[in-house]
Each structure stands twice: as structure tokens, then as C-alpha cells.
């Protein structure tokens, strides 16, 4: 029983500064009952792990104590003062999770934050034809075999066969939300408590599962986070930037904006705008036919107005004024030597967009000068090593970026060309550094863990009134987004325990806490949560699901791990739960929705308008949640570095994979000249 007793307000000075950062309205997915978690925590002052007990309430770490008997009194009650209301809280039968609930010692870390994803795509298996052969992201996007493996198969969420009309909006929404929630569930199994990449599907993740970077209410912070796929577009590079804008700059016209005005005047776009009375986008795209004119008008009316100026306002007005926290974009994604890929960061500078608050996903084409500029201007980077290596055969020069002082975080990208979860991304990062970077040892496992926690919080602008991050660290008044792993020995230094996390598997994850709620972990511990908070164990769901079925047969079982973990969802009455009739309120229900959607699509595809190459690309089923269910993934993941990277480099050059997105530029086009022109007038 939980009792609230009104008392004379007492100022808790240790908490007042931190808690004043947060709003008073408690989102429904934050824990409403206080509880205590005991485990080892690495002390940052001496890098040694000590046993502590965390008191967690309303999504926040309220107290940290070295003894279990506080705030538990002699009668076994949890008694403390609510830091938000100054009321005394008494829980007669409190939840206390300690070593006995996990079958041994645990080390508690901040929850992992995945800074790069495309969540609904995480139902697809790893794409077997990504062999490091591409120069930049615009090449594989245009390749028919990629479209078969990804775009073609994702139609299963919105139609029953390739040639059929779309489902009604309600069924499509249920299918899409099942895919998004599958991604969140997989993340939770790795101790990931927050994810980027929900895009336009926010209703699927609101108050459910892992936190979402783009959902402001998940963070006690109402400032906006903006995420977009592309900041610059190659379709405008050859016909507009190289033919008109850069030549005007070389003629001494002045700044980028001066060159855009010159472009507008060159094609009398301003007269078209004045005479039409239409929206600028409509007026400029309605110009007379003609490749150059049309491209120029689309650039000026669509890209300049709808994209560049919008991002400029975010970075130069909204973030400095406190209305937004960050702008997340894909930029410079490709190989380090690809001419176009190397031009994208200077291009962003030229456009006035490489500013504080910009968070760049990938940045592989950036060099030491770019990193120095990024560090000096507060530009963040997100590193996705597995995806980069699969697609381009190389990845971000992370050592040089860190040496320059750039804030670097970590992200998985998506299941077609990335890892399943953050634990695997940490391993790939470590293996890459060991195998390919001469100075890779300088990037310690502690630094890798910080990329997945504290550095991500910095990129997201999640700071308290003291200038420290509100999440990504364990401390008094921090958000209670936590994960814990089982360990045999806690006497080792913190460095060894950080390495234990980097080397951990899903089987080692003992607990995942989101918004103060224990949502996933050891079945024994989750049973205790169900008993204390729900009055029974029926509120939890044991995992991995036994002998999962897809439309072509059973997945591999996970042996001793089967049923060893469990989920508990604190909120089951969101709008999408009601629309789905509860089908999306359990793991089994989500699995059933996805298996039915993809199974129906695969069954209907042979007579439903699919080509032979599309049929060949049909997956065996949805991407399994656990590594132990996915033999193909395990084989490629754990042998990838260095074996496959070397093999791919030897096989590089197949002609059908040499796709050139800038087809009107000669093979020996001088991108370096463009780069220097842009930098000559860049902000």
C-alpha cells in the first residue's frame, strides 16, 4: 500500500537544483511508485565499483545510499519525502530488487541510447548483398536489388500483395506500429532505454517501451528535436550547384545567399513569383519546361525555402533561443575517398548549416579539417560502424574525430545493414578499432560506453540547471533510465567492468529500467515486480518466446535462455493499443501481427505482381529479436571483422554495383575545386 502524508515542506538541497530542471507533470510512463534497486556502480572519482542502493521515484533517481536500511525503516516500509510536492511517501510493501533477485551480482550502468535508427525497418533481416562496394548512400538507394530487399518487402505493412491496393488506414497503422514496437522490444533486450528514428510514427511509441529521441515528453523537456534524412541532395549538385551557384561565387558575387539571388534573377523566378500570387514552392515549380530551368526553380522554391531555410532557422534561431535541442541529419555517408561524399560537410558549411546543435549521422567523408571545424562549432557526430562497413567497406575516422574534440555518440542504423542492438554495435566498434586503427587502443571501452550514454545525452542537449546531463550518467536527480548486467567479479577496476559491458550479450542483461519502470530483465526479478506492483505475475511475459513460428517454419530456439527473461509494460492503454484491440499490448501479440502481415504478403506475392528478383528477395520471416534465434545473423556478425571486410575489399568492383548518382559529371570531376570554393565563403 502506498500512502501520502502531507507535511511541512522541507527543502532537499541536494535535489532542488536538479529537479527544478524537470516539469511538474509526470508522464504516465514514469514510475508512480517508489522502489529500490541494489547493485554495483562505478564511482567516477576512483573508477572502482561499490555497492549502492538507488531509490527511484517518478522517473528520477531520488536517493543513492550505501546501506540497504535507508530509506527502508525497521518495519520494512519505504519512507521518504516527495521532492516534487514535499509530501511524505510511505510504501508499506515496497519493491526492492537486489542480488537475490538476479541470481548474483549486477553492475548498474546508465541505459544505452541508440542515436541512429530507422525503427520500423528493424523487422527486416540483414541484407546479404551489402559488401562494402558503394561510394555513397545515393548509390545503393538507386540499386534495384536494394529496392527488392527493403522497399519491396516493407510494403507488407500496408498491402496484402505487391499489386493489391493498400489496406485501410487502421490496419496499416497497426502493422506499422507493430514493427516500431518490435524495434523497441529488441532494444530493451540489450539494455537500450532510448532510440532515435521513430520518424512519422510517433503514435506507435508514445508512453510505451523504450524512450524516443524525437518525443519531447519522454524527457521532462518540451524543447523540440528535429530529425531529417538528408541535409543536402545530390540531385541539385550537378545541375544547380556546379553550373550556377559555384560559378557565381568564383565570379566574386559574394555569399551563398547572393548566389541564390543571382540564380533567381537568372531565371526570372522573382517575376514568376510576383505574378503568380502562389506559394513560393508552387510558383517556382510551375515555371516553363526545361531541365535546367526546372531544376533551378525546384532548388530555389523547394530546397532553399522548404529545407535549407527551415534548417537554418532551427540551428540559428530555435536552438540558441532554447526552443529546440538538436537537428539530426544524415551527412557525408559513404567512403572516405568518394569525391561527392567528401564534399557534403563543406557544402553544409557553405549553406550556413554546420552550427552548434547539428548532429551528423555518419560523417565518414569528413577529414581532420572538418573535424576541427565541427568541434569548434559544437557539431556532434553519430558513429554507425557496422552499417558503414557493410555498405562502404570503411567508416568514420573516429580516432581523429575524438582527438579533435568532437562529441561522438553511437547508433545501430537499421537491421538491413546494421546490428540488431547496441551491445553488438559496441562490439563491432571495439573490433574495428583493434583491427583497423593503429591508434585504436586509445579509444578505451569506457569511452565507447560513454558514446552510448553520456555523449548521446550531450548531443540531445539534455542538460540540467547545473550544466550536467540529465541522463546518460548515474547520479542524484538524474533520469532513472538504467541497465544492469550480471557479472561474476566486481572487485576489478571500472575499466574492466566497462569492458564487461562492451563484451556482454543479451543473455547477460539483468535489468532494463525506462522512466523509472523496470520493463525487462531476469524472470525472477520481473516476477517480483509483478507481485509487488500488480498483485500477481500475470503482468509479465516470459521471453524469448518458445519456438517462434514464421510463415516458413520455426526459428531456432535459445536453449537455456528460453524463458529466462521477461517483459512488463507499465502502460497498455495508449491510442494505438485501443485501436488494435490489445493486439499490440504484448510481445506475442506484436509477433502475431507481424508474422501475419509478412506471411500474407509472401503467400500472395507469386501471383500478386512480384517479379522473379523480388520473389528471391522475400525474407524468411521478420528479423528475430534475439541473436540466439538468428543463426545467419550470428555467423555474419561475429565473423565480420576482420574476415569479411578483407574479403569484400578483394571482391570490390563488380560492374553492376558501380552506380553513379551524379551521372552528368565526368569520372574525373574536380570535387576538390568545389570544396575549396565553398570553404572560401563558408561561415
> Burial of 275 by CB count in 10 Å (0-12 exposed, 13-18 middle, 19+ buried)?
exposed
Over residues 184-243, the pLDDT tens digits come to: 999 999 999 999 999 999 999 988 899 999 998 888 888 899 998 899 988 889 888 998
The pLDDT confidence band at residue 550, using thresholds 50, 70 and 90, is low
Residue 114: which residues within 8 A CB-CB, separation 6 or more? 187, 192, 194, 195, 196, 197, 410, 411, 412, 421, 422, 425, 452
The pLDDT confidence band at residue 80, using thresholds 50, 70 and 90, is confident
Over residues 339-362, the pLDDT tens digits come to: 999 999 999 999 999 999 999 999
pLDDT value of residue 559: 78
> How large is the average pLDDT for residues 600-616?
91
- State the DSSP H helix or E strand holding residue 360, giving kind and residue range, or none if neither: strand 358-362
Over residues 293-342, the pLDDT tens digits come to: 567 777 877 788 888 999 999 999 999 999 999 999 999 999 999 999 99
pLDDT over 90 percentage in the chain = 62
Task: Specify the residue for cell string 525506462.
Answer: 514
Read off the C-alpha cell for 213: 529521441
pLDDT value of residue 188: 98
Q: Cα separation of 405 and 353, whole Å?
A: 19
pLDDT value of residue 554: 53
Over residues 88-119, the pLDDT tens digits come to: 888 888 999 999 999 999 999 999 999 999 99
pTM of the entire structure? 0.93
The pLDDT confidence band at residue 265, using thresholds 50, 70 and 90, is confident
pLDDT value of residue 68: 66
DSSP for 227-276? EEEESS-GGGIIIIIIIIIHHHHHTT--SHHHHHHHHHHHTTHHHHHHHH
> How large is the average pLDDT for residues 558-566?
86
- For the chain, the 3-state helix, strand and coil shares in percent, each to the nearest 5, are 45, 15, 40
pLDDT value of residue 545: 83
Q: Find residue 106's DSSP bridge partners.
A: 486
pLDDT value of residue 553: 53
What's the Cα-to-Cα distance from 578 to each of 174, 175, 215, 268, 593, rounded to whole Å?
10, 14, 20, 54, 15
pLDDT value of residue 315: 95
Over residues 29-57, the pLDDT tens digits come to: 788 889 999 999 999 889 999 999 999 99
Amino acid at each position: 500500500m502506498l500512502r501520502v502524508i502531507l507535511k511541512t515542506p522541507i527543502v532537499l538541497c541536494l535535489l532542488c537544483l536538479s529537479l527544478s530542471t524537470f516539469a511538474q507533470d509526470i508522464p504516465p510512463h514514469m514510475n508512480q511508485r517508489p522502489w529500490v534497486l541494489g547493485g554495483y556502480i562505478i564511482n567516477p572519482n576512483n573508477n572502482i565499483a561499490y555497492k549502492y542502493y538507488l531509490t527511484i521515484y517518478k522517473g528520477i533517481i531520488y536517493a543513492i545510499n550505501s546501506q540497504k536500511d535507508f530509506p527502508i525503516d525497521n518495519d520494512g516500509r519505504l519512507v521518504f519525502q516527495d521532492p516534487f510536492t514535499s509530501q511524505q511517501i510511505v510504501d508499506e510493501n515496497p519493491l526492492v530488487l537486489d542480488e537475490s533477485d538476479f541470481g548474483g551480482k549486477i553492475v548498474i550502468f546508465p541505459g544505452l541510447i541508440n542515436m541512429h535508427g530507422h525503427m520500423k525497418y528493424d523487422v527486416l533481416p540483414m541484407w546479404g548483398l551489402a559488401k562494402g562496394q558503394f561510394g555513397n548512400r545515393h548509390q545503393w538507394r538507386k540499386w534495384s536489388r536494394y529496392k527488392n530487399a527493403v522497399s519491396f518487402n516493407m510494403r507488407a505493412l500496408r498491402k496484402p500483395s505487391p499489386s493489391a491496393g493498400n489496406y485501410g488506414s487502421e490496419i496499416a497503422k497497426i502493422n506499422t506500429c507493430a514493427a516500431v514496437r518490435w524495434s523497441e522490444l529488441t532494444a530493451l533486450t540489450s539494455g537500450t532505454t532510448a532510440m532515435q528514428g521513430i520518424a512519422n510514427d510517433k503514435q506507435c511509441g508514445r508512453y510505451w517501451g523504450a524512450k524516443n529521441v524525437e518525443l519531447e515528453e519522454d524527457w521532462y523537456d518540451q524543447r523540440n528535436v528535429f530529425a531529417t534524412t538528408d541535409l543536402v541532395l545530390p540531385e541539385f549538385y550537378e545541375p544547380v550547384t556546379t553550373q550556377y551557384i559555384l560559378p557565381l561565387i568564383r565570379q566574386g558575387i559574394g555569399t551563398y545567399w547572393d548566389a541564390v539571388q543571382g540564380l533567381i534573377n537568372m531565371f526570372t523566378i522573382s517575376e514568376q513569383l510576383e505574378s503568380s500570387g502562389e506559394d513560393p514552392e508552387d510558383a517556382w515549380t510551375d515555371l516553363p519546361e526545361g531541365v535546367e530551368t526546372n531544376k533551378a526553380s525546384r532548388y530555389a522554391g523547394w530546397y532553399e525555402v522548404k529545407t535549407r531555410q527551415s534548417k537554418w532557422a532551427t540551428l540559428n534561431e530555435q536552438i540558441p533561443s532554447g526552443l529546440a535541442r538538436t537537428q539530426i541529419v544524415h551527412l557525408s555517408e559513404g567512403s572516405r575517398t568518394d569525391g561527392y561524399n567528401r564534399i557534403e560537410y563543406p557544402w553544409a558549411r557553405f549553406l550556413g548549416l554546420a552550427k552548434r546543435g547539428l548532429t551528423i549521422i555518419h560523417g565518414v567523408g569528413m577529414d581532420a579539417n572538418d573535424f576541427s571545424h565541427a568541434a569548434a562549432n559544437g557539431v556532434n557526430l553519430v558513429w554507425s560502424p557496422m552499417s558503414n562497413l557493410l555498405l562502404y567497406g570503411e567508416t568514420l575516422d573516429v580516432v581523429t574525430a575524438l582527438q579533435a574534440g568532437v562529441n561522438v555518440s553511437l547508433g545501430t542504423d537499421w537491421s538491413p545493414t546494421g546490428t540488431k542492438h547496441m551491445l553488438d554495435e559496441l562490439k563491432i566498434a571495439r573490433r574495428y578499432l583493434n583491427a583497423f586503427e593503429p591508434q585504436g587502443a586509445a579509444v578505451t571501452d569506457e569511452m565507447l560506453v560513454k558514446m552510448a550514454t553520456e555523449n548521446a545525452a550531450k548531443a540531445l542537449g539534455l542538460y540540467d540547471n547545473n550544466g550536467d546531463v540529465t541522463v546518460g550518467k548515474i547520479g542524484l536527480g538524474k533520469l532513472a533510465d538504467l541497465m544492469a548486467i550480471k557479472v561474476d567479479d566486481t572487485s576489478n577496476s571500472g575499466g574492466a567492468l566497462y569492458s564487461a559491458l562492451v563484451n556482454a550479450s543479451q543473455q547477460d542483461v539483468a535489468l532494463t529500467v525506462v522512466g523509472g519502470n523496470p520493463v525487462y530483465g531476469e524472470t525472477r526479478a520481473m516476477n517480483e515486480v509483478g507481485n509487488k506492483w500488480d498483485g500477481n505475475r500475470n503482468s509479465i511475459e516470459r521471453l524469448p518466446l518458445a519456438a517462434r513460428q514464421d510463415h516458413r517454419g520455426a526459428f531456432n530456439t535459445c536453449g537455456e535462455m528460453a524463458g529466462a527473461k521477461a517483459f512488463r509494460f507499465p502502460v497498455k492503454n495508449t491510442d494505438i493499443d485501443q485501436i488494435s484491440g490489445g493486439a499490440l499490448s504484448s510481445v506475442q501479440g506484436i509477433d502475431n501481427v507481424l508474422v501475419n502481415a509478412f506471411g500474407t504478403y509472401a503467400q500472395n506475392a507469386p501471383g500478386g505482381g512480384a517479379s522473379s528478383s523480388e520473389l528471391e528477395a522475400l525474407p524468411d520471416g521478420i528479423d528475430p529479436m534475439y541473436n540466439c534465434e538468428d543463426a545467419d545473423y550470428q555467423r555474419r556478425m561475429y565473423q565480420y571483422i576482420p574476415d569479411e571486410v578483407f574479403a569484400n575489399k578483394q571482391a570490390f568492383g563488380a560492374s553492376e554495383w558501380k552506380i553513379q548518382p551524379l551521372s552528368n559529371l565526368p569520372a574525373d570531376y574536380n570535387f576538390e575545386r568545389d570544396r575549396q570554393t565553398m570553404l572560401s565563403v563558408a561561415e
